[in-house]
Structure formats: structure tokens, C-alpha cells
Amino acid sequence: MPSASRVSVFSDTNVLFSAFYGSPNNERILQAHILDKIKLVISQKVLEELVRNVRRKEPQALSIVEKFLQTSPPKIVKTPSLIDPEIKRFVHPKDQVIFQSAVNAKVKYFVTGNTKDYNVSSLEKKYKIVVLTPSQAVQKLSL
């Protein structure tokens, strides 16, 4: 039975892709979700990017991704149509819709391999979402 107290963690596409590619910290995050230690949250856009990238770069992993989505699906939130002006100030344009999805999903953590695209301290102050690299997430969440 899933734990009611699992923390919600929004995953950027690069984290999931790297998990299926064999990156240890990203695999730990995915495994923690599968074992109900955390609840992964993604947006429809993240899902589309993941499938597109796996199909293009690691097609042999597509069946593993499909199995994951069937057996341990993350919470999938709608891709937002509006972006908060503060997100436009603090997030690289290509990542704004992804971070807005995390804000809308009311997660506590946002994990990405590209923290350079985010003004981490400003986002944490404004939205109370901690932006972490995969290795920081593994450490902070004891995964």
C-alpha cells in the first residue's frame, strides 16, 4: 500500500531519460518512486519529450519505459498554457512550461540535470520549491 506521506518530486525529462540510460543517481530517483518512497510527478510535455528522446537516442529502452509507465506510472499533470511572469524572470525560456507544471502540481522538489537554467534561490523563495540536481536529490531525500 502506498505511503500517504510520500513527498512529491517533479522530474525534468533529462532525469528520467538518464535513469533509463543508466545514470546511477537518476536510477535511484526512479527506483524510489517504484518502491513508493517518493511520488514522481511529470507533465504531459515531459512524457512526450521522454518518449521522443528514447525513441530517437535509445530505442532499445522503449519497452522498459513503456513497462514503467504501465506498472509504476508517475502522476502526470496537464501542460500549462499560461506562465507566471516570475517564472519568465527566473527560468530559461525552454524550461518555463516545465517549471510552471511543477508549480501547478504543488510539489516540494523539482529535480533537473540543468540547474543552470533556473535561478534556484529566487524560485525557492517565491514558490517554496527546492530545485535540485539528481545527486542533490538522492542526498537530501536519502535515496
Per-residue pLDDT tens over the stretch 37-77: 999 999 999 999 999 999 999 899 899 999 999 999 999 99
Query: Which pTM does this prediction carry?
Result: 0.92
The pLDDT value recorded for residue 2 is 43
* Residue pair 33/19 in contact by the 8 Å Cβ criterion: no
Q: Which three cell numbers stand for residue 116?
A: 543552470
pLDDT at 1 over 60: no
* Residue pair 10/107 in contact by the 8 Å Cβ criterion: yes
* Residue pair 105/41 in contact by the 8 Å Cβ criterion: yes
The pLDDT value recorded for residue 109 is 98
Say how many C-beta atoms besides its own lie within 10 A of residue 97's C-beta: 18
Say how many C-beta atoms besides its own lie within 10 A of residue 73's C-beta: 12
pLDDT at 34 over 70: yes
The pLDDT value recorded for residue 45 is 96
Residue 118 binned pLDDT confidence (cut-offs 50, 70, 90): very high
- Set out the domains of the chain in order of their start, with CATH numbers: 7-140 (3.40.50.1010)
The pLDDT value recorded for residue 58 is 87
pLDDT tens-digit map of 66-112: 999 999 999 999 999 999 999 999 999 999 999 999 999 999 999 99
Q: Which three cell numbers stand for residue 51?
A: 518518449
Query: Stretch 10-22: mean pLDDT, rounded?
Result: 93
Q: Considering just the CA atoms, what is the radius of gyration of the chain in Å?
A: 14
pLDDT at 28 over 50: yes
Enumerate residues 6+ apart whose C-beta is below 8 A from 41.
8, 9, 10, 11, 74, 75, 76, 77, 102, 105, 107
pLDDT at 8 over 80: yes
* Residue pair 118/95 in contact by the 8 Å Cβ criterion: yes
Q: Which three cell numbers stand for residue 9?
A: 518530486
The pLDDT value recorded for residue 5 is 65
